[in-house]
């Protein structure tokens, strides 16, 4: 796939260069304003194509880079799995990366004595730590690689981005698609939190994992972390997100509703409503917009999320004393009445009452973006 990308990039460059040269040589037979305009446009198209070629080659190189990293971590897992299976303690690796022995502790004691039991437990811990660390790095590499590709796609010319995006027939939806886009963060995204803050949160929840965030998101959450008992405050923030996810699944149990469908609309609206009650409308609006700034978002998904986020904040500001249950009912009313947005089977935004639950379709996780409007 990566090689095909480079091949197509070279074809695109050659074709547009040939076309531009042909039009450049048209002065003898094509004069006047129309000829001048055509030559200017041809030069512009050639520049856009060259820029597209650079992006495609950049994506190709990024794919190779990530594959090399993934192979290294996969090799570690294979090596440690082989060590476990060859161990005299009859070890095996679980799907979650944990290492256990098929022998009971009594069997180990009988065969190897107390020292053997201690050695077996230490070996299990070492292998588990190593394998799970490699699995975690595979997940992080995948997230970081997708972010790097998103950054490359943001380098496409604005004309190319607009030309690659299908437009809704409904003029209001077309306006929303164009206007509910954000520019990518200048500094990309990174896993957050880290360091002592991450360690402190893991004292509350050892399974807690950092999330890929823009620097703007991390900065806004840093304000919360700076409060007394900041680790607990950040844990609560992520717990609010979990509450929104659980409420959305309860409202729309069908898994197909989660993928840019009614469940996803519910989750975004309810999450923003809860955050608005806890942190205020201004902070929530800044965070929710920054959250979309990872770059390379599918335009339909970005418009859907930003629009539904705004509706959720509106629900909270208009009903400041509403209980979580009341907020959920108000969010549901917005979806049922068609005020919310989902992505339809054509992977385009549509009003939530014009698409059946489960009849939505997700755009690509990484796609050609639209230029940010705000």
Q: What does the alpha-carbon distance between residue 374 and residue 367 come to, in Å, rounded to a whole number?
A: 19
Q: Which of 6-10, 129-133, 148-152, 184-188 has the highest mean pLDDT?
A: 129-133
Q: What does the alpha-carbon distance between residue 117 and residue 135 come to, in Å, rounded to a whole number?
A: 27
Q: What does the alpha-carbon distance between residue 57 and residue 10 come to, in Å, rounded to a whole number?
A: 9
Checking if the pLDDT of 347 tops 60, the result is: yes
Q: What does the alpha-carbon distance between residue 189 and residue 147 come to, in Å, rounded to a whole number?
A: 7
pLDDT confidence bin for 1, thresholds 50/70/90: low
Q: In 3D, which of 296, 293, 18, 319 has the Cα closest to residue 153?
A: 296
Secondary-structure percent of the chain, ordered helix, strand, coil, rounded to 5: 65, 5, 30
At 28-86, the pLDDT tens digits run 888 889 888 988 888 888 899 999 999 999 999 999 999 999 999 999 999 999 999 99
At 279-324, the pLDDT tens digits run 999 999 999 999 888 777 889 999 999 999 999 999 999 999 999 9
pLDDT confidence bin for 353, thresholds 50/70/90: very high
Query: Are 298 and 364 spatial neighbours (Cβ–Cβ below 8 Å)?
Result: yes
From residue 50, alpha-carbon distances to 17, 155, 184 in Å are: 9, 11, 22
Residue with the bigger pLDDT between 107 and 150: it is 107
Collapsing DSSP to helix, strand or coil, 30 comes out as coil
Paired tokens of 173: 């939806």
Q: In 3D, which of 281, 228, 325 has the Cα closest to residue 236?
A: 228
Checking if the pLDDT of 365 tops 80, the result is: no
Query: CA triplet 102, 104, 107: central angle to 5 degrees?
Result: 110
pLDDT confidence of residue 374 = 54
Checking if the pLDDT of 8 tops 60, the result is: yes
Which of 125-129, 166-170, 363-367 comes out lowest in average pLDDT? 363-367
Query: Are 279 and 308 spatial neighbours (Cβ–Cβ below 8 Å)?
Result: no
Collapsing DSSP to helix, strand or coil, 288 comes out as helix
Which residues in 133-288 belong to E strands, given as ranges?
Answer: 190-192, 211-213
In this structure, the number of other CB atoms found within 10 A of the CB of residue 276 comes to: 24
Q: What does the alpha-carbon distance between residue 239 and residue 274 come to, in Å, rounded to a whole number?
A: 11
State pTM to two decimals. Answer: 0.75
At 87-103, the pLDDT tens digits run 999 999 999 999 999 99
């Amino acid at each position: 796939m990566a090689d095909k990308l480079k091949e197509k990039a070279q074809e695109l460059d050659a074709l547009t260069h040939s076309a531009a040269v042909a039009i450049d040589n048209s002065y003898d037979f094509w004069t006047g304003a129309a000829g001048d305009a055509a030559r200017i446009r041809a030069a512009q198209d050639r520049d856009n194509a060259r820029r597209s070629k650079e992006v495609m080659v950049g994506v190709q190189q990024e794919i190779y880079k990530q594959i090399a990293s993934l192979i290294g971590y996969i090799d570690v897992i294979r090596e440690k799995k082989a060590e476990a299976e060859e161990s005299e303690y009859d070890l095996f690796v679980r799907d979650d990366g944990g290492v256990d022995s098929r022998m009971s502790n009594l069997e180990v004691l009988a065969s190897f004595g107390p020292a053997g039991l201690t050695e077996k437990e230490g070996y299990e811990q070492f292998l588990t730590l190593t394998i799970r660390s490699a699995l975690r790095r595979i997940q992080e590499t995948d997230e970081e690689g997708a972010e790097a590709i998103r950054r490359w796609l943001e380098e496409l010319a604005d004309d190319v981005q607009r030309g690659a995006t299908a437009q809704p027939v409904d003029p209001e939806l077309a306006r929303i698609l164009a206007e509910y886009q954000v520019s990518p963060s200048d500094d990309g995204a990174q896993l957050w939190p880290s360091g002592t803050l991450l360690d402190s949160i893991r004292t509350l929840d050892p399974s807690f994992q950092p999330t890929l965030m823009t620097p703007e998101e991390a900065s806004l959450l840093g304000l919360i972390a700076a409060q007394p008992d900041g680790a607990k405050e950040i844990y609560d923030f992520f717990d609010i997100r979990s509450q929104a996810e659980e409420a959305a699944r309860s409202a729309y149990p069908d898994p197909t509703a989660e993928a840019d469908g009614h469940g996803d609309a519910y989750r975004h609206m309810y999450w923003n409503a809860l955050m608005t009650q806890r942190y205020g409308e201004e902070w929530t609006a800044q965070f929710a917009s920054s959250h979309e700034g990872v770059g390379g978002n599918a335009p339909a998904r970005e418009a859907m999320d930003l629009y539904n986020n705004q509706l959720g904040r509106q629900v909270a500001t208009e009903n400041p004393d509403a209980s979580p249950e009341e907020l959920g009912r108000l969010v549901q009313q917005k979806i049922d009445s068609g005020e919310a947005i989902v992505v339809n089977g054509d992977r385009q935004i549509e009003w939530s009452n014009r698409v059946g639950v489960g009849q939505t379709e997700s755009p690509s996780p990484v796609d050609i973006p639209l230029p940010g409007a705000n």
